[in-house]
Amino acid sequence: MKRFAPLSILLFTALALLLDMKISFYGFRPDLVSFMAYWFGYSRSSGAGMLYGAAAGAVEDSLYMGLLGPGMLSKGLIGFFASFLSRSFFRWTPLLGFFGALALTLAGGFVELAVLSVFSQGSEGFSTGGLWILLFQGLLNGILGIFLRPEARES
């Protein structure tokens, strides 16, 4: 599988941010930026995944929140830990893609909600239905993770 050019990665990231802002399923917004961080970390190294996730999270924080940092931290963690799924002893299956995207989206979301509930004065947090939104986002990204395929590596 050929790696995407930087311009197409930027285009897909902008599209994910736009869809996150505009699409809503019964009041639940998707978190496609987390899936993009998962995909980037899964297909590249841990450093590249963390850098991409932190950069995408910084853009997301500057667009959505008044507090800069929770998205950077959560998306950076997703990109970092996703690289270990493709380079570990696990053999890739669609089930691993589902559970990897689900688990990392939930973990990143918990980190983001925890940081927001501690440092923000707004209504974000666990008590305002954040857990249901996070579960929906995790399931949606898990479904997308089924279709993620690892690329063939040369030794």
Please report whether residue 136 resides in a domain.
yes
Please report whether residue 155 resides in a domain.
no
Structure-token pair, residue 103: 């688990």
Query: Quick one: pLDDT at residue 10?
Result: 87
d(CA 137, CA 143): 10
User: Could you count the other beta carbons within 10 Å of the beta carbon of residue 81?
Assistant: 22
Please report whether residue 151 resides in a domain.
no
Please report whether residue 82 resides in a domain.
yes
Interhelix angle 6-22/46-64, nearest 10 degrees:
40
Q: How far is CA 81 from CA 58, 85, 116, in A?
A: 18, 7, 21
Query: Quick one: pLDDT at residue 154?
Result: 44
Structural domain for 112, as ranges: 6-146
Query: Quick one: pLDDT at residue 122?
Result: 61
Query: Quick one: pLDDT at residue 97?
Result: 87
Q: What is the CATH number of the domain that holds 87?
A: 1.10.1760
Query: Quick one: pLDDT at residue 3?
Result: 61
Q: How many domains does the chain have?
A: 1
Query: Quick one: pLDDT at residue 88?
Result: 66
Residues in the chain: 155
Instruction: For residue range 94-132, list pLDDT tens digits in order.
Output: 888 899 999 999 999 888 888 877 877 665 556 667 788
Q: What is the mean pLDDT of each run of 10 residues along the chain (155 residues)?
A: 72 87 81 89 86 90 79 91 76 86 92 81 63 88 87 49
